Structure 1
Amino acid sequence: MKVHMHVPPAHNLPDREALKSATVELEATFLAEMLRSGGLGKSSGALGGGVGEEQFSSMLVMQQARQIARAGGIGLSEILFRSILEQAYEE
């Protein structure tokens, strides 16, 4: 039995590198929220507290989450990447 898979024209296919970057960034955003929920990035007052410390703590947590995601993370970006590619090739 021969299975026919419709492949859309190349100009309709997602750019794999851009898609991979976007899915890694999405996983990083998710991880940052999880880290914040776990207490990472809460102001300790070590730098005098205030709004500045809170903003920089938030940026630090996001960068840590990006590094986790780029190193393989929890696998969310890979699942999303493959799922989006599968849908692109099915259409």
Structure 2
Amino acid sequence: MQIEPIHSMPAPQAAHLAVADQLEQAFLEEMLKYCGPQASEGGFSGGAGEEQFSSFLTREHAGLLAGKLDLGFAAMLERRT
């Protein structure tokens, strides 16, 4: 009896793209925290509510940017596998 070695199968392309999109979105979200739109001040500010929910808006902005931009994370993940 001869046992053949187990070779790992390459991950499907769609899985790499999904992971790359999530990674790009997380990267852009962190970038937008520091250089993105800031909370308004003065009479027209949202106050404490704006501060609490600004992370949701930042996440949405990052998601939209990740959909429009290609930062090359998918290509980097392909090279590593």
- The TM-score bracket by the shorter chain reads 0.5 to 0.7
Which of 28, 39, 61 is residue 43 of structure 1 equivalent to? 39
Structure exhibiting the larger radius of gyration computed from Cα positions: 2
TM-score by length of structure 1 reads: 0.61
The answer (yes or no) to whether the contact 2:29–2:58 under 8 Å persists in 1 is: yes
The answer (yes or no) to whether the contact 2:16–2:78 under 8 Å persists in 1 is: no
Matched letter for residue 63 of structure 1: E
- Matched-pair identity in %: 30
Q: Unmatched 5+ residue regions in structure 2?
A: 1-6
Call closer, same or farther: CA 1:17–1:32 in 2, change over 3 Å.
Answer: same
How do 1:1-91 residues align onto structure 2 when only pairs under 5 Å count? 8=7, 12-40=9-37, 42-45=38-41, 46-50=44-48, 52-73=49-70, 75-84=71-80, 87=81
Q: Unmatched 5+ residue regions in structure 1?
A: 1-7
